[in-house]
C-alpha cells in the first residue's frame, strides 16, 4: 500500500502539464490566478502560463491554436456563445469526474445549465460574478450626507449631491463593454428577473414593446451626464481606482471590482460599500468565470487537465479564490461565513429563489451581445441619438435570426 | 547625385522668406520630436511625479527605475520577468526573416523584371494585390497550412510566415528597381555563358547595395514591430518583445504604471531606432537611387 | 535538383513560377477560402454549408460596419492628402539648400522606425486631455485652452489622422526628395530663363513630371489605410463609442470575439474588393505604360 502510494505520488509528480490560456491581468485577477496555479502546482502539476493582453486576444489565441492542432489545455472564458460553439467536438467533457465527485449537487442549477452543452459538462466554474452591482466610496457618501440608495431616484439624488460637492458622481470607463452593462443594469432594475428573462432569454417580441425599455435608455443617458471628461477608453480597474481613492462616488461594475478594493487594502462596509442596481424586484445577473478544456491528445496534458479540474473544483481553493477575486464561490458547499459584507449580499441573492438570472453576456446567442454592445456605446456617445432609435436598435438585434 | 547638382536651383529668395522657412522646419521638427520626448521624459519619472503632474512636465528626479522594472520585473500574466525574455526571441526571428525575405525578393524581382511578357505584368498585378489582402483574412488559412506541415507555433514556422507575408512587398520594390537597370548588363553576362542564378548572384546583387539596404531596413522595422503574427505563430517559447510589451501595458496591477509602460515601449523601439539612425543615410540614398519609383 | 536547375539555366520564368506558386497558395488560397467562408454561417468554427449572400446582407445592415466604412473614407482622405501635402512640402523645403539638411531629414524620418503600436500609445498619452498637451497649456496659464479631440466622438478620428501623418510624412518626404533631386538641371535652367515664379514652377512643371513617384506614394499610403489596425487598437480601440471603428478592426472582432467567421469573411472580401477598385486606376496606367 505504501509502495502504491509512493508510485502514485511519483507518477503524479511527472507528466501532468497544463497550458493555460488566460487574461487575468489586474491586481486582484493575477492574485486569483496565482491562487489556482499555486494549488495546482502543490498537487504536483506543471503549469505553463500563456497570458494574453485581454479577453479578446485570449479567445483569438485559443481558437487559432485549436484550429492549428496545438490547443492550450485550458482556456479561461465564460459559458457564452464561444464556449457553446467550441463544445461541438473541440472541448473535453467532464461527465465522468462530475458523476464520481457529485459536482452537480454542489452547483446551483442555473449555473449547472450554463456549463452543460447537450447534457455534457464542458466548462468548470471558477467563480460567480454578477453584473448589476454599484460600488461607492463610503467617505464621499458620508461627507455629502448620503445613505445607501434604495431606489433609482435616491441613487440619482445621491449623484446630484456628489456632483454639487465637486466630485465625479459616476466613474465610468468609456469602453463599450463597460457602458452596455450600465444599460442592462437599468433594464434589470426597472424590470426585475421576470421581465429580464422574457426580454433576453426568451426574446419575446411582446417584451420589446414594454414602456420599461425607453425608460431604461433615458436613465442610461442620464448616467452619461455625470461622467468625467477623461472617461473615454479608461480601463475598468483604473476606473475602480477612482472610487478607491475618493475621486469618484460610484461605479457600475461587476463584482470583480470588489477584488480591486480588497487589493488596495480596503474593507467592505468601512471604506467602500456596494448595492445591487436599486429595485423593488431584486435580481442578480450572473457572469460565470470558467475554464474550458480543449481536447488534447498527449497523456500528460490529459492528466494535467484532470488535475486542474480537481483543483478548480476543490472547495478550499474556491473559498480562497473568492476572497481575492471578488466573486462568490460556484460551489454551494463552500464555507462563505468568512466572506465580507458585499460577498454575503451576493451569496444571499444566489440563494433566494427566482432572483438569479443569466447575464446577457453569457446568455445571448451568436454575436447578439456584441451587437447590443455596439448599440449601447453608440447611444452613450452620441447624445443626438433618440431613445426611440435606441429601442428600435435593440429590438432589431434581439429579433434577428 | 552630386553636390553640384543639389546647388543648381536658386536659394529661397528674400531674407524674410528664409526666416519663415526655418521657422516652419523647426516647428515641424518639434511636432516630430514631441511624442518621443514625452515617452523618454515619463519613463524617467517615478510614479509619484506622474500621479501629481502632467505628462509633459520635466522630470524632477530622473532615474532609471522604470527602465529596470520594464526590463526585468514587470509582469506579463503570472510571470514577472519584464520584457527581457523577448529580446533574444525578437532577434532570432527578425534576422533570418529579413535576410531571407530580402534575398528572395531580390531574386523574384529580378526574374520578373527580366521576363518581358504580358504574363510578367499580370503576375505583378496579382502580387500587388497581395499587398492589400488584410492579414486577418489570411490568419486562419495560414494556421491550417502550417499545422499540416508541422510548423505551427514553431520557430521555423514564424520565420516562414514572415518571409511569405513579406514577399509581395520586397518583390515589388526590387522589381521596380531592376526594371530601371539597363538590359545590357544581364545580356553581357549571358553572352559569356553565365546562368540566370550566376548572373543574379555575381553581377546583379553587387550593383544593388542601395536598394538592398532600403528593403532590409523596411523589412527589419516591419518584422521587429510585428505583434499579431508573433502572437499567433511564434508559440510560447519564441514570443517576440512586442507581445511582451502589449502584455505589460495591459497588465495593470493596482493602478496603471505609465512610466514602466513607456520604458518598455522605448526598450522595444530601441533596436529599430538604432538601425535607422545608423543607416539612415544609406536608406535615403537607396530611395534616391530609384527604389520606390514607378 | 541543382544539376537540373543548371541544365535549365534557371531561366527567370522558373523562378517566377516557384515564387508565384507560393504567393498563390498563401494569398490566393486565403482569398478563396475567405470567399467560401463568407457564403456560410460559420461561427467560431468553420462550417461548410453554403447559405448564399446572407452575410453580405447582414453586413450592409450592420450600423457599425457602415460607420467603419465611412470612417475609413474620412480617415483615408485626410490622411493621404495630409501626408502627401506635408511630405511634399518638407521635401521641397529640404531641397532649398537649407543648412543642417540631414539633421532635419533624420528627425522627419525617424517615426518610420517606430511601430504603429508605440505611435498610437505615445499619441494617446500626448493627447489625453487630463494629463497631456491640454493640461500642459492650461498649466502655463491659458486656462480655457481646449484640445480634447481624443475623447470627442466627432473629432477622435482626426487624432488618428494626426498620429498617422506623423508616422508616414517622412517617408513621403524622402521619396519625393529623391524625385526632386533626379530632375534634370536643364529644366531648372529653363524655368529660370522664363522667369516663372517658384510656386508655379513646382505646381505646373515639376510635380506633373513626378507623377509616377507620387503614384507609388499613394499606393503605399492606401494599403496602410485599408489594413489600418494596430494604430487604432493602441490609440482609441475604436472609441469613443464606435467613432473610430474601421473595417479591419470590424473583421478582427467578428473573427474571434464575436464568433462570426462568416460575417468577418464577408467584411474581408469587401475590403479586398474595395482595394481592387481603388487600385484599378493605378494598374491601368501601369499597363498602358509598360505594354
pLDDT tens for each residue of B220-239:
999 999 888 998 899 888 99
Enumerate the residues of chain B whose CB falls inside 8 A of the CB of residue C188: 8-9
- Residues of C within 8 A of B276 (CB-CB) are 109-110, 112-113
Q: Are residues B121 and B198 in the same domain?
A: yes
Structure confidence at residue A2 (pLDDT): 44
- Burial environment of residue C79 by CB neighbours within 10 A (0 to 12, 13 to 18, 19 or more): buried
**Three-class DSSP category at B160:** helix
Does residue A108 share a domain with residue A206?
no
Q: Do C248 and B136 touch (CB under 8 A)?
A: yes
| Residue C10 vs residue C268, higher pLDDT | C268
Determine if residue A195 is left, alpha or beta; phi over 0 gives left, psi from -120 to 50 gives alpha, anything else beta.
alpha
Spatial distance between the Cα atoms of A120 and A279, rounded to a whole number of angstroms: 36
Three-state DSSP class for B156? helix
Please check whether residue B227 touches C, CB under 8 A. Answer: yes
Q: How many domains does chain A have?
A: 2
CATH of the domain at A32: 3.40.190.10
Indicate the average pLDDT of chain C: 86
Q: Which residue has the higher pLDDT, C59 or B172?
A: C59
A217-220 long-range contacts, CB within 8 A, separation 24+: A217/A183, A217/A186, A217/A379, A217/A387, A217/A390, A217/A391, A218/A387, A219/A152, A219/A186, A219/A190, A220/A182, A220/A183, A220/A186, A220/A376, A220/A379, A220/A380
CA distance A113 to C28: 43
Residues B47 and B93 in one domain: no
Give C 21-50 residues with CB within 8 A of chain A. Answer: 43-45
pLDDT in the model for residue B72: 87
Average pLDDT over residues A5-10: 42
What chains are in contact with B, requiring at least 3 Cβ pairs below 8 Å? A, C
Within a domain: B79: no
What is the average pLDDT across C9-16?
67
Residue of A nearest to B254 (CA): A27
Q: For the domain that residue B123 is a member of, what is the CATH number? A: 1.10.3720.10
Report the distance separating Cα C112 and Cα C166, nearest Å.
9
**Would you say residue C75 lies in a domain?**
yes
A349 assigned to some structural domain? no
pLDDT at B53 (0 to 100): 65
Domain hosting B33: range is 11-63
Q: Is B128 within the bounds of a domain?
A: yes
pLDDT tens by residue, C138-194: 878 888 888 888 888 889 999 999 999 999 999 899 888 888 887 888 888 888 888
Same domain, B47 and B180: no
In a domain, B73, yes or no: no
Angle between helices B84-114 and B209-224 (to 10 degrees): 140
Nearest to C242 among A86, A367, A374 (CB): A374
Cβ neighbours of A238 (radius 10 Å): 18
- Considering the domain architecture, whether residues A238 and A98 belong to the same structural domain is answered as no
Residue A249 has pLDDT above 90, yes or no: yes
What is the pairing mode between strands A17-22 and A46-51?
parallel
B183 and B235: one domain? yes
Q: How far apart, in whole angstroms, are the C-alpha atoms of residue B128 and residue B176?
A: 12
Q: Phi and psi (nearest 5°) for B242? A: -60, -35
pLDDT band at C12 (very low <50, low <70, confident <90, very high): low
ipTM confidence: 0.84
Q: Are residues B113 and B51 in the same domain?
A: no
Question: What residues of chain C lie within 8 A of the CB of B6, using their CB?
Answer: 95, 97, 181
Same-domain pairing of A106 and A89: yes
Residue B249 lies in a domain: no
In a domain, B92, yes or no: yes
Residue B290 is predicted with a pLDDT of 58
Q: Is residue B5 part of a domain?
A: no
**Under a CB-based contact definition with an 8 Å cutoff, are residues A268 and A326 in contact?**
no
Give residues 91 to 120 of C whose Cβ lies within 8 Å of A.
Answer: none
Instruction: Please tell me the predicted confidence (pLDDT) of residue C143.
Output: 82
Q: Are A367 and C260 in contact (CB < 8 Å)?
A: yes
**Residues A240 and A331 both lie in one domain:** no
Q: Which of residues 217-276 of C touch B (CB under 8 A)?
A: 217, 219-220, 222-223, 226-227, 229-230, 248, 251-252, 255, 261, 264-265, 268-269, 271-272, 275-276
Same domain, B23 and B57: yes
Do B235 and B94 lie in one domain? The reply is: yes
Could you tell me the three cell numbers for C124?
494617446
Residue at A347 is within a domain: no
- pLDDT at position A98 is 95
DSSP letter for each residue of C59-83: HHT-HHHHHHHHHHHHHHHHHHHHH
| Domain match, A324 and A273 both | no
The answer to whether position C123 is within a domain reads: yes
b/e per residue, C164-191, with b = 16+ CB within 10 A?
bbbbbbbbbbbbbbbbbebbeeeebeeb
Question: Does C6 have pLDDT greater than 70?
Answer: no
Shared domain for A299 and A375, answered yes or no, is no
Question: Which pLDDT tens digit goes with each residue over C198-229?
Answer: 888 888 888 888 887 888 788 888 888 887 88
Among the partner-chain residues C67, C148, C258, the one whose CB lies closest to the CB of A370 is C258
More confident residue, B180 or B102: B102
Predicted TM-score of the model (pTM): 0.87
Which tens digit of pLDDT belongs to each residue from A285-328? Answer: 999 999 999 999 999 999 999 999 999 999 999 999 988 888 89
Helical H runs in B180-293?
Answer: 183-191, 196-199, 209-224, 228-233, 241-250, 258-288
The reply to whether C28 falls in a domain is no
Q: Which residue of B has its CA nearest to C162?
A: B31
Do A394 and A255 share a structural domain? yes
Report whether pLDDT(C256) > 90.
Answer: no
**pLDDT at position B185:** 83
Question: Does any domain span residue C170?
Answer: yes
- C-alpha radius of gyration, chain C, whole number: 24
The reply to whether B59 and B92 lie within a common domain is no
The x, y and z cell numbers of residue B260, run together, are 514602466
Are A226 and A370 in the same domain? yes
Give pLDDT, residue C11. 67
Number of domains in chain B: 2
Write out the E strands in A116-170. Answer: 116-117, 120-121, 123-130, 133-137, 168-170
CA distance A267 to A257: 13
Which residue on chain B is closest to C271 by alpha carbon? B134
Instruction: Look at residue A313 and tell me if it is in a domain.
Output: yes
The verdict on a CB contact (< 8 Å) between C227 and B134 is: yes
Could you tell me the CATH number of the domain that includes residue C207?
1.10.3720.10
Range of the domain at A182: 133-285+355-399
Looking at the structure, tell me whether residues B222 and B284 fall in a common domain. yes
The pLDDT-based confidence of B5 (bands split at 50, 70, 90) is: very low
User: Do the Cβ atoms of B283 and B215 come closer than 8 Å?
Assistant: no
Number of domains observed in the structure of chain C: 1
Residues 6+ apart with CB under 8 A from B214: B173, B282, B283, B286, B287, B291, B292
Show the domain range for C219: 58-290
A79 and A166, same structural domain?
no
Q: Evaluate whether residue C116 is within a structural domain.
A: yes
Amino acid at each position: 500500500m505504501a509502495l502504491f502510494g509512493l508510485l502514485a505520488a511519483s507518477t503524479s509528480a511527472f507528466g501532468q502539464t497544463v497550458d493555460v490560456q488566460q487574461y487575468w491581468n489586474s491586481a486582484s485577477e493575477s492574485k486569483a490566478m496565482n491562487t489556482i496555479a499555486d494549488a495546482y502546482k502543490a498537487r504536483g502539476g506543471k503549469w505553463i502560463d500563456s497570458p494574453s493582453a485581454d479577453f479578446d486576444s485570449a479567445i483569438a489565441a485559443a481558437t487559432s491554436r485549436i484550429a492549428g492542432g496545438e490547443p492550450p489545455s485550458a482556456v479561461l472564458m465564460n459559458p457564452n456563445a464561444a464556449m457553446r460553439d467550441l463544445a461541438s467536438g473541440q472541448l473535453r467533457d467532464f461527465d465522468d469526474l462530475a458523476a464520481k465527485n457529485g459536482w452537480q449537487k454542489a452547483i446551483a442549477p442555473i449555473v449547472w445549465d450554463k456549463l452543460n452543452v447537450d447534457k455534457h459538462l464542458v466548462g468548470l466554474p471558477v467563480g460567480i460574478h454578477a453584473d448589476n452591482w454599484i460600488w461607492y466610496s463610503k467617505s464621499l457618501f458620508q461627507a455629502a450626507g448620503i445613505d445607501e440608495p434604495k431606489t433609482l431616484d435616491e441613487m440619482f439624488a445621491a449623484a446630484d449631491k456628489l456632483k454639487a460637492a465637486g466630485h465625479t458622481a459616476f466613474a465610468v470607463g468609456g469602453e463599450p463593454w463597460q457602458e452596455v452593462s450600465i444599460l442592462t443594469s437599468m433594464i434589470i432594475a426597472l424590470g426585475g428577473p421576470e421581465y429580464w428573462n422574457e426580454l433576453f432569454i426568451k426574446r419575446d417580441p411582446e417584451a420589446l414593446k414594454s414602456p420599461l425599455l425607453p425608460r431604461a435608455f433615458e436613465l442610461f443617458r442620464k448616467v452619461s451626464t455625470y461622467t468625467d471628461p477623461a472617461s473615454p477608453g479608461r480601463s475598468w480597474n483604473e476606473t475602480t481606482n477612482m472610487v478607491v481613492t475618493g475621486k469618484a462616488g460610484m461605479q457600475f461594475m461587476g463584482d470583480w471590482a470588489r477584488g480591486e478594493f480588497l487589493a488596495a487594502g480596503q474593507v467592505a462596509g468601512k471604506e467602500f460599500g456596494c448595492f445591487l442596481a436599486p429595485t423593488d424586484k431584486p435580481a442578480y445577473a450572473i457572469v460565470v468565470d470558467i475554464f474550458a478544456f480543449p481536447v488534447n491528445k498527449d497523456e500528460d496534458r490529459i492528466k494535467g487537465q484532470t488535475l486542474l479540474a480537481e483543483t478548480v473544483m476543490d472547495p478550499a481553493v474556491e473559498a480562497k479564490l473568492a476572497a481575492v477575486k471578488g466573486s462568490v464561490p460556484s460551489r454551494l458547499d463552500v464555507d462563505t461565513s468568512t466572506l465580507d459584507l458585499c460577498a454575503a449580499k451576493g451569496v444571499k441573492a444566489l440563494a433566494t429563489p427566482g432572483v438569479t438570472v443569466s447575464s446577457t453576456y453569457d446568455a445571448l446567442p451568436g454575436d447578439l451581445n456584441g451587437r447590443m454592445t455596439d448599440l449601447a456605446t453608440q447611444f452613450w456617445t452620441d447624445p443626438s441619438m433618440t431613445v426611440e432609435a435606441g429601442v428600435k436598435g435593440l429590438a432589431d438585434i434581439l429579433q434577428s435570426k | 547625385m552630386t553636390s553640384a547638382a543639389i546647388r543648381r536651383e536658386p536659394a529661397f529668395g528674400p531674407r524674410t522668406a528664409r526666416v519663415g522657412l526655418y521657422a516652419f522646419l523647426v516647428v515641424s521638427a518639434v511636432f516630430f520630436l514631441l511624442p518621443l520626448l514625452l515617452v523618454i521624459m515619463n519613463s524617467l519619472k517615478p510614479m509619484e511625479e506622474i500621479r501629481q503632474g502632467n505628462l509633459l512636465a520635466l522630470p524632477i528626479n530622473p532615474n532609471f527605475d522604470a527602465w529596470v522594472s520594464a526590463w526585468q520585473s514587470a509582469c506579463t500574466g503570472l510571470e514577472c520577468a519584464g520584457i527581457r525574455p523577448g529580446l533574444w526571441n525578437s532577434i532570432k526571428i527578425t534576422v533570418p526573416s529579413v535576410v531571407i525575405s530580402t534575398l528572395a525578393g531580390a531574386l523574384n524581382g529580378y526574374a520578373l523584371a527580366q521576363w518581358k511578357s504580358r504574363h510578367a505584368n499580370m503576375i505583378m498585378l496579382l502580387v500587388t494585390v497581395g499587398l492589400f489582402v488584410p492579414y486577418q483574412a489570411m490568419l486562419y488559412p495560414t494556421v491550417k497550412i502550417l499545422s499540416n506541415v508541422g510548423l505551427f507555433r514553431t520557430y521555423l514556422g514564424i520565420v516562414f510566415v514572415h518571409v511569405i507575408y513579406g514577399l509581395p512587398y520586397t518583390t515589388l520594390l526590387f522589381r521596380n528597381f531592376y526594371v530601371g537597370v539597363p538590359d545590357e548588363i544581364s545580356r553581357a553576362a549571358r553572352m559569356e555563358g553565365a546562368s540566370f542564378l550566376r548572373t543574379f548572384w555575381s553581377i546583379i546583387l553587387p550593383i544593388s547595395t542601395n536598394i538592398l539596404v532600403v528593403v532590409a531596413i523596411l523589412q527589419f522595422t516591419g518584422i521587429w514591430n510585428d505583434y499579431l503574427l508573433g502572437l499567433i505563430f511564434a508559440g510560447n517559447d519564441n514570443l517576440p518583445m512586442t507581445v511582451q510589451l502589449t502584455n505589460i501595458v495591459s497588465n495593470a496591477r493596482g493602478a496603471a504604471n505609465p512610466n514602466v509602460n513607456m520604458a518598455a515601449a522605448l526598450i522595444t523601439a530601441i533596436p529599430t531606432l538604432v538601425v535607422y539612425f545608423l543607416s539612415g543615410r544609406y536608406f535615403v540614398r537607396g530611395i534616391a537611387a530609384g527604389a520606390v519609383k514607378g | 535538383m541543382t544539376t537540373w536547375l543548371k541544365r535549365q539555366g534557371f531561366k527567370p520564368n522558373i523562378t517566377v513560377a516557384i515564387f508565384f506558386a507560393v504567393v498563390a497558395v498563401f494569398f490566393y488560397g486565403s482569398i478563396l477560402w475567405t470567399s467560401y467562408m463568407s457564403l456560410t454561417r460559420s461561427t467560431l468554427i468553420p462550417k461548410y454549408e453554403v447559405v448564399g449572400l446572407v452575410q453580405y446582407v447582414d453586413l450592409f445592415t450592420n450600423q457599425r460596419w457602415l460607420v467603419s466604412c465611412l470612417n475609413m473614407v474620412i480617415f483615408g482622405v485626410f490622411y493621404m492628402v495630409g501626408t502627401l501635402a506635408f511630405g511634399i512640402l518638407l521635401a521641397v523645403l529640404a531641397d532649398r539648400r537649407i543648412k543642417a539638411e540631414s539633421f532635419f531629414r533624420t528627425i522627419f524620418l525617424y517615426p518610420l522606425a517606430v511601430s504603429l503600436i508605440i505611435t498610437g500609445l505615445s499619441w494617446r498619452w500626448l493627447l489625453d486631455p487630463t494629463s497631456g498637451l491640454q493640461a500642459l497649456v492650461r498649466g502655463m496659464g491659458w486656462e480655457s485652452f481646449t484640445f480634447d479631440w481624443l475623447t470627442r466622438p466627432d473629432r477622435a478620428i482626426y487624432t488618428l489622422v494626426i498620429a498617422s501623418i506623423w508616422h508616414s510624412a517622412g517617408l513621403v518626404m524622402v521619396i519625393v526628395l529623391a524625385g526632386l533631386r533626379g530632375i534634370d538641371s536643364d529644366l531648372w535652367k529653363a524655368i529660370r530663363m522664363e522667369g516663372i515664379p517658384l510656386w508655379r514652377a513646382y505646381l505646373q512643371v515639376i510635380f506633373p513630371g513626378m507623377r509616377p513617384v507620387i503614384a507609388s506614394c499613394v499606393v503605399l499610403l492606401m494599403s496602410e489605410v485599408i489594413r489600418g489596425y494596430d494604430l487604432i487598437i493602441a490609440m482609441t480601440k475604436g472609441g469613443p463609442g464606435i467613432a473610430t471603428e474601421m473595417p479591419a478592426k470590424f473583421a478582427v472582432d467578428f473573427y474571434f470575439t464575436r464568433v462570426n467567421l462568416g460575417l468577418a469573411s464577408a467584411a474581408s472580401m469587401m475590403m479586398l474588393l474595395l482595394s481592387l477598385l481603388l487600385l484599378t486606376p493605378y494598374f491601368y496606367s501601369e499597363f498602358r505604360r509598360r505594354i
